[in-house]
Amino acid sequence: MVSLFTQRSKGRLKVSSPQTIYPQTLGIYVRRGNTALAKQLTSALKTLRDNGEYHALLQKYAVYGITDNAPQP
């Protein structure tokens, strides 16, 4: 994401260090009991991983450090 912001800033922003200062853990949340939506999201993410699109998106937006070790529903 940082590289996306620096590209769009047209030179106004610059990365001064490759070190992550404030890493964030993000996730997708689904209302408790909405198992249908949870299953659809899980299936969609599996499809994206299996066909390589997930990795391509991570590279396109310079997102690193994503892990599959997150808790699963």
pLDDT digits (tens, 9 = 90+) for 4-44: 788 888 888 888 877 777 777 778 889 999 999 999 999 99
Average of per-residue pLDDT across 61-71: 68
Judged against a pLDDT cut of 70, whether residue 62 lies above it is answered with yes
The span from the CA of 27 to the CA of 18, in Å, is 23
Place 70 in a pLDDT band, splitting at 50, 70 and 90. Answer: low
Contacts of 27 (CB under 8 A, 6+ apart): 70
Structure tokens at 26: 């993000």
pLDDT number for residue 65: 65
